[in-house]
Amino acid sequence: MELVSVIMPAYNTQSTISDSINSVLTQTYTNWELIIVNDRSTDDTASIAKNFAAADHRIHLHTNEQNIGCAATRNVAMSKARGEWLAFLDSDDLWLPDKLEKQLQFANETSASITYTATSYINKYGEISNYILPAEREFSYKSLLRRNIMSCSSVMVRTDEMMPFPHNNKGDMHEDYATWLQILRKVGHAYGLNEPLLQYRLTESSKSGRRFNSAKMAYCAYRTVGYCVLFAILLTLRYALHSISKRSRIKAGYQQ
The CATH number linked to 200 is 3.90.550.10
Which residue range is the domain that position 183 belongs to?
Answer: 4-255
Q: Mean pLDDT in the chain?
A: 93
Gyration radius from the chain CA atoms: 17
pLDDT digits (tens, 9 = 90+) for 109-142: 999 999 999 999 999 888 899 999 999 999 999 9
Does this model's pTM top 0.85? My answer is yes
pLDDT digits (tens, 9 = 90+) for 182-218: 999 999 999 999 999 999 998 765 555 566 788 899 9
